[in-house]
Structure 1
């Protein structure tokens, strides 16, 4: 049995616009992790621990970016805009296909 680890937000599919990539970005938004931490090599237990911290951080805001205080909302917008721009540059298309 091999230990599965996360590839890291900078190497993740679609510029990290995946479930785990968004988890890492949200940890950056809330200051749980520094923006230099990509989580490359983290095992599932560590990612689960991070998920629980990020989930708790989102709770006061009903998990909605629009309810974040100005500083967090601006950081969220900056981080996600950069990710979306990078993903689009690499050919990502947000439109759902026939099978989605």
Structure 2
């Protein structure tokens, strides 16, 4: 059963338990950290406290800053390929879990 959101007491629920099949802000942070090799690909960050996630976010942002500021197409070939593979796998899982990428767009209108 997927938990939704985070509990400050328990820390981050982890990408595998996050809402929207892990395609949330924190889930994408985990994916980006995997792309840059900052965490192993099997690390879900479940139970990580907010301070630890912030430290990871700082490291991820530093990596993005080296490569054009968050635009995957500006990554070097090896990282661009890795990004595509990691995100494709997660988006497939998210779609299977019922994630609708357009749903958030409707909320913004």
Return the TM-score normalized by structure 2: 0.84
Is the contact between residue 4 and residue 44 of structure 1 (CA under 8 Å) also seen in structure 2?
Answer: no
Displacement after TM superposition at 1:68 (Å): 0.6
Moved more, 84-93 or 17-26: 84-93
What aligned pairs does 1:1-100 form with structure 2 within 5 A after superposition? Answer: 3-62=9-68, 63-95=70-102, 96-97=105-106, 99-100=107-108
Structure 1 counterpart SS, 2:9:
coil
Aligned length: 98
Moved more, 69-78 or 2-11: 2-11
Displacement after TM superposition at 1:3 (Å): 2.9
Segments of 4+ moved more than 2 angstroms: none
Unpaired runs of 5+ residues, structure 1, are none
- Which structure would you say has the larger RCO, counting Cα contacts within 8 Å and 6 or more residues apart? 1
Return the TM-score normalized by structure 1: 0.91
Unpaired runs of 5+ residues, structure 2, are 1-7
